[in-house]
Amino acid sequence: MTTAEPSGIAAPTAPAAPARFLGPALAGFCGMLIGIGLGRFGYPPLIPIMVEAGWTSPTILHLAGAFNLAGYILGAVTAIGVAAWLGLRRAAFAAALLAVLAFGLSAMPLPDWAFITLRAVSGLTGGIFMIVVPPVIAGVVAPSHRGRAGGITFAGVGIGFALSGVAVPLLAGAGPAGAWLGLTAVLIVASLIMMALLPAAPAPEPAPGSAPEAAAPSWRRSAPFLGLAAAYAGASIGYVPHTLFFVDHVARDLGHGLAAGGWIWTASGATAVAAPLIAGMAADRFGYAAALRIVVALMALGALLPALTASLPLLVLSGMLCGGLMIGLGSLASGRTREIVGPLAHTKAWALQTILFAVFQAAGAYGFTALLAATGSHQFVFVSAAAILAAGLAVELAASRGRRPA
């Protein structure tokens, strides 16, 4: 059942015709490219370049990656308050400016504490964009095109993922400074496009403390919302082994070599670009719930494959299914959240789903690392990941049985 709870950000009214479909979608694409595609995933390819240049140690660089995730969670927690305080466009501009500064200032050797702080700031901007951008785009696009608009928006994550993997090696000849400045230039262009196309939204309204606020927890306790949370959190845990151990397992443990790892990275990146677009079209055609369940089922299959086979083509397929499809799942989870809670509560409900996803992802990283150290079995790790994905899907199906979205 949909509640009338305000989200803290008023939802724009969708137009009757899809004439405004492409502009808002492109603005969302640029926002996700800035905050997630490069702000979060643009950093790892720079680590070996900085180590070779002697700018800092691998330990500091890995610690900075952890602070990037912590900043992302902080950004997600504070995004609604920031948007309500500054207004949507100013909040988006401030986040884009911080992302540009975080990358631009990194183009010089810095004290360890300063570099770690910049990575945390970069993660914070990603959390803000992830929370405020998808609901705004969904609110101004006609329902018939909402899935495709969300797909284009989340494709910005995949493009950033792929772009960093291609551009950083090309810029490596100029050293860390050239690589950081090259990505900074991309952020500047994307920021200008985003601000030019970002749809105008009503001024954020403070959430009242009267009767509607008393009814606020209803959607949090609803079976469909909790089922979606189980599936989304299960996916956040289940795909972790593919981000930590998979490529190394294929390259060294199975003996396929580093080139095979490169093929898997390339195939996963291409899937991360295409998956949100295909998932968006599927959502418009078959509904968000059906598309989301298919994606989670395919991710579970992808997580299981490395425990069953050493065939390189099937392992590449595994990387595409469990790693690449994750970006498409984000778009579907946001749209499904809106179906369950309604447009007014979309931002707040999506913020909660995003925070849970990030927290469980971090817990999964620690948990699977400990599990692998204790058992020494990659097969057991991959089977466990597939089981968690399947369990989350089973909970979502059980919770949604007999329920219809608002």
The DSSP-derived string for 218-259 is HHHH-HHHHHHHHHHHHHHHHTHHHHHTHHHIIIIIS---HH
pLDDT at 203 over 50: no
For residues 131 and 35, what is the distance between their CA atoms, to the nearest angstrom?
11
- Do 17-202 and 219-406 agree at the fold level? yes
Task: Please tell me the least confidently modeled range out of 91-100, 259-268, 312-321, 337-346.
Answer: 259-268
Query: Is residue 297 very low, low, confident or very high in pLDDT (cuts 50, 70, 90)?
Result: very high
More confident residue, 4 or 67: 67
Q: What is the pTM of this model?
A: 0.82
What residue segments make up the domains of the chain, in order of their start?
17-202, 219-406
For residues 145 and 277, what is the distance between their CA atoms, to the nearest angstrom?
12
More confident residue, 45 or 3: 45
Q: In the prediction, which pLDDT does 96 show?
A: 95
The gap from C-alpha 154 to its chain's centroid, in whole angstroms, comes to: 8
CATH number for domain 17-202, candidates 1.10.10.10, 3.20.20.120, 1.20.1250.20, 3.30.160.60: 1.20.1250.20
Q: In the prediction, which pLDDT does 255 show?
A: 84
The pLDDT of 64-74, averaged and rounded, is 90
pLDDT digits (tens, 9 = 90+) for 188-199: 999 999 999 988
Are 197 and 26 in contact by the 8 Å Cβ rule? The answer is yes
Q: Nearest-5° angle of CA 95, CA 96, CA 97?
A: 90
- How large a percentage of the chain has pLDDT more than 90? 52
CATH topology of domain 219-406: Growth Hormone; Chain: A; (1.20.1250)
pLDDT at 262 over 90: no
CA distances from 395 to 29, 77, 321 (A): 31, 26, 21
pLDDT digits (tens, 9 = 90+) for 348-400: 899 999 999 999 998 998 899 899 889 989 999 999 999 999 999 999 999 98
Mean pLDDT of the chain: 85
